[in-house]
Amino acid sequence: MTTQPRDKQPNEFPIRVLVAKPGLDGHDRGAKVIARALRDAGMEVIYTGLRQTPEMIVNASIQEDVQCIGLSILSGAHNAIVPRLMALLKERGADDILVVLGGTIPAQDIEFLKEQGVAAIFGPGTSLETTVEFIRANVKPRGVAV
Amino acid sequence: MPRTTSEDVPQGVKTPADAARHVSAGEQQWIDEILTPTVTKSPERPIGANTGTNRNEDGTARFTTISAVPVERLYTPADLPADWDQHAAQYLGHPGQPPYTRGIHATGYRGKLWTMRQFSGFATPEETNQRYKYLLENGGSGLSVAFDLPTLMGYDSDHANSEGEVGKCGVAIDSLEDMEILFSGIDLEKTTVSMTINSPASVLWAMYLVVAEQQGADWKKISGTLQNDILKEYIAQKEYIYPPAPSMRLVIDTFEFGAIHTPRFNPISISGYHIREAGATALQELAFTIYDGVEYVEWALRRGLDVDDFAPRLSFFFNSHNDFFEEIAKFRASRKIWYRLMTERFHAKNARSQLMRFHTQTAGVSLTAQQPMNNIARVAIQALAAVLGGTQSLHTDSYDEALALPTEEAARIALRTQQILAYESGVAQTVDPLGGSYFVENLTLKMEQGAFDYFDKLDAMGGMVRAIEQGFPQKELAESSYQYQRAVEAGEKIIVGVNDFVVKETAQQILYIGESVRESQTAKLQRLRERRSNEDVVRRLAALRSAAAQEPRATPGKLSDANTMPYILDCVRAYATVGEICEALRDVYGTYEEASWT
């Protein structure tokens, strides 16, 4: 697990989040709603746009110095995408980034994805508040240069 | 082609504003003697949490549709235009008569029920073929193919980008061989087939036509529908490959080809479904979809086609969401709006060009993962709205679709829901039973008014392709979906089982598709590439590239020289794959990436 207990989060440093849409799917309603909700909650949000490879997502996360990656996957490709993404984060020494996943994920895949290091999986019907609170409570504090 | 100006819009469609309501003496008496004492004694309460936005300035409760349109307490003749009775024919007419508000058939469903067409496709062509036979044996009256994401994006199953996606959201089709398997044992001259495919639509259609030909079916007799609506991909679903201009050219190629070779096949299904799923209100769905239709007509006219050559085969596809009356109003208004556009703006002469024919699917986005059985009730209400709105065909969602692709049992219940409506409920026995309802007619007129207001805006932007490039519809949708989600979060909109009436639940049995489909499709592709003449494939792909690079010009009654359809058919016959054909077109046209608006 990469989750950490809530640390002191200095108010002057907003949490930085990358909302990413990997895979071939174009259904971006959820990703956009989440991006805006996180922004409204005071976070700095970068939205990648569509069809990002794990490599592109990891590069962007490091360049943008984010504390959290929010993946939106509805197509069923999570078991192919998530392990590649987590391996790349580790390879680049960026596995302290909190990774959360939203979308339609079958119950039987949840354990595997959590073993891979996904901190939380938010299925259909999850409230925006739940997602915001989880990220606030679990990101690592910022301030250390990469 | 000159675009419509506001002067062309006939006046008198406006519903009376509150101040202009001419309340009858009887209604006034009711207000004074019955209503006022009642409201004083027991004030009205908004449905859902009191958030402030569902209160009027004076503190009274405010009621709204799911699209946030205010709903009044009671509708009476005062809510219809003053000349409603006098101009009944212009406002409403009769079924099968302009402006077609009451339906396109004089006898409604009494002569022919709607087509029960269940959208389906998963895993391999072999497995999907079995599901199709099951649906047809159970009384389904047409088929509707769901393709997987690699097919929708023009990649073969063995392409690197296809990893994890093969057979997941639909059936994997790589070559003519897969299409032959998909329809094996299904008579394509007798079965109408709809195919949900957009950017590579002409490729999959060519495969379908060749399979029909192999079966000995006459292209002049086969019927069905190609979705082929690229505009809504840029607006909502985002499964596009090429930039807008060449994509539009490919669409017009299919219009031209279809008008000559497949007179009973709809080359396009202009779709609001996905626009609604992406967060549009009912009005935005209606306005953007019909205006997409306007854009296709404008492009076809610029090619040099005559409006009456292709307009009779333009078909539409709407969403049916939870708000019952709003949906019915949307369906009824759509027919009148299209009639007005085709006659006033495009001067279509053929009566069939003026008819809005549409398919409906219940709203996938309204389904909940929580207490999924509740979705059966939602789907039944949405399906009823579609039937009362006069749909030509209908897909009812399965209750487990918020979780995964449907199991066989869930798919059967969805079909049974339509059969209960058709055979038990009695709603199919009379035409447009809600016609004349003050509420429904008022909502229908407001939909029409609102749509023409959007058309003026879109005309001013220079058409839909230009509006898309500016991100206009995309931003409108993002805003509506966010506002809706906020209302749900605040408890102002109640979703049963999600933000109220919640229970603890155990996991549901779902259809699970693993990675084996990619392996079997990859092996099949390998055998195909060894068996076919690869030289032949290369030669035909080169011919397609060269046609695609030329500007097609129509000559009356003949196919344009550079129309891509015959070249794509040639490639397909040589067993070129979806990926190879789309790659050839990518070489010529490049790919599209949108700026991301959040």
pLDDT in tens, B317-350: 999 999 999 999 999 999 999 999 999 999 999 9
Number of other CB atoms surrounding residue B425 within 10 Å:
12
Contact between residue A98 and residue A70 where contact means Cβ atoms under 8 Å apart: no
B596 touches chain A (CB under 8 A): yes
Which of B182, B342, B343, B195 lies closest to B262, judged by CA? Answer: B195
Picking from B9-13, B167-171, B313-317, which range would have the lowest pLDDT averaged per residue? B9-13
Are the beta carbons of A36 and B164 separated by less than 8 Å? Answer: no
How many A-B residue pairs are in contact by the CB < 8 A criterion? Answer: 113
Task: With CB atoms and an 8 Å threshold, state whether A104 touches B404.
Answer: yes
Beta-carbon contacts of residue B429 (< 8 Å; ≥ 6 apart): B109, B110
Q: Which residues of A touch B279 (CB under 8 A)?
A: 29, 33
Note whether B239 and A26 are within 8 A (CB). yes
Q: What is the pLDDT of residues B482-494, one digit of tens each?
A: 999 999 999 999 9
B237: distance to nearest CA of chain A, Å? 6
Highest average pLDDT, of B350-364, B401-415, B553-567, comes from B350-364
Angstroms from B477 CA to nearest CA on chain A: 9
Helices marked H in B511-577 = 516-531, 534-549, 564-573
Average pLDDT of the segment spanning B103-120: 95
The alpha carbon of B306 is separated from its chain's Cα centroid by a whole number of angstroms, namely 25
B515 at interface of A, judged by CB pairs closer than 8 A: yes
Distances (CA, A) of A143 to A67, A91, B38, B65, B84: 10, 22, 63, 47, 69
Cα A121-A125-A126 angle, rounded to 5 deg = 45
How far is the first Cα of chain B from the last one, in angstroms, to the nearest whole number? Answer: 34
The phi, psi pair for B216, rounded to 5°, reads 85, 15
Residue A28 to residue B593, Cβ atoms within 8 A: no
- pLDDT, mean of residues B178-182: 98
Mean pLDDT (chain B) is 94
Q: Chain A: residue nearest B369 by CA?
A: A124
B120 DSSP β-pair partners: B145
pLDDT at B60: 87
Enumerate residues 6+ apart whose C-beta is below 8 A from A50.
Answer: A21, A26, A28, B238, B594, B596
Higher-confidence position of B593 and B571: B571
Q: Are B485 and A106 in contact (CB < 8 Å)? A: no
Is-contact B518 B157, C-beta < 8 A?
yes
The closest of A26, A68, A33, A66 to A50, measured between CA atoms, is A26
Residue B574 to residue B207: CA distance in whole angstroms = 11
pLDDT at B50: 78
CA dist., res. B466 & res. B254, Å (int): 22
The alpha helices in B389-513, defined as continuous H runs, are: 408-423, 438-461, 464-469, 472-489
Q: What share of chain A is helix, strand, coil (3-state, %, to 5)?
A: 40, 20, 45
What 8-state DSSP symbol labels residue B117?
E
B238 touches chain A (CB under 8 A): yes
B201-239: b or e for each residue (b if 16 or more CB lie within 10 Å)? Answer: bbbbbbbbbbbbeeeebebeebbbbbbbbbbbbbbbbbb
Whole-number pLDDT of residue A2: 40
> How many angstroms separate the CA atoms of B17 and B587, rounded?
55
Mean pLDDT of the region A68-96? 96
Q: Which residues contact B11 (CB under 8 A, 6 or more apart)?
A: none
Counting every residue written for chain B, the total comes to: 598
- CA-based angle B217:B123:B406, to the nearest 5? 100
| The two structure tokens encoding residue B375 | 């979705």
pLDDT at B73: 95
- pLDDT, residue B18, reads 67
CA of B484: which chain A residue's CA is closest? Answer: A33
Chain centroid, CA B511 distance in Å: 25
Which B positions 10-49 lie with beta carbon below 8 A of chain A?
Answer: none
0.90 surpassed by complex ipTM: no
Q: How confident is the model at residue B195 (pLDDT cuts 50, 70, 90)?
A: very high
* pLDDT digits 0-9 by tens, B502-521: 999 888 888 888 889 999 99
Determine which helix (DSSP H) or strand (DSSP E) holds B270, and give its type and residue range: strand B268-271
DSSP state of B364: G
Task: Give the mean pLDDT of B254-267.
Answer: 96
Nearest to B164 among A45, A80, A125 (CB): A80
Q: Cβ neighbours of residue B138 under 8 Å, at least 6 residues apart?
A: B412, B415
Confidence of residue B12 (pLDDT cuts 50, 70, 90): very low
For A139, the 3-state DSSP assignment is: coil
Mean pLDDT, residues B384-413 taken together: 95
Test B598 with A26 for CB contact under 8 angstroms: no
CB half-sphere exposure, B197, CA atoms < 13 A: 35
Cβ–Cβ contact B285 with A under 8 A? no
Q: Which residues in chain A are contacts of B365 at CB distance < 8 A?
A: 29
How confident is residue B13, by pLDDT bands cut at 50, 70 and 90?
Answer: low
State the smallest CA–CA distance between residue B48 and chain A in angstroms. 16
Please list the helix, strand and coil fractions of chain B in percent, rounded to the nearest 5, in that order: 50, 10, 45
Contact B578, B154 (CB under 8 A): yes
The string of DSSP codes covering B96-115 is TSTT-TT-SSTTTTSSSPPE
Contacts of A66 (CB under 8 A, 6+ apart): A16, A17, A18, A46, A97
Mark yes or no for CB contact A24/B593 under 8 Å: no
H-helix segments, A1-73: 29-40, 54-63
Separation of alpha carbons B277 and B285, rounded Å: 9
Helix axis angle, B534-549 relative to B578-589, nearest 10°? 30
pLDDT attached to residue A7: 46
Task: Report the pLDDT value the prediction gives residue B84, as an integer from 0 to 100.
Answer: 94
Q: Which of B28-32, B34-38, B138-142 has the lowest mean pLDDT?
A: B138-142
Q: What is the pLDDT of residue B562?
A: 95
pLDDT for position B567: 98
* Model confidence band, residue B3 (pLDDT cutoffs 50, 70, 90): very low
Q: Quickly state the pLDDT bin for A146 (edges 50, 70, 90).
A: very low
Closest approach of chain A CAs to the CA of B487, in angstroms?
11
What does the alpha-carbon distance between residue B73 and residue B21 come to, in Å, rounded to a whole number? 14
List own/partner pairs for B40-46 with CB under 8 A and 24 or more apart.
B44/B73, B46/B492
Residue B9 pLDDT > 50:
no
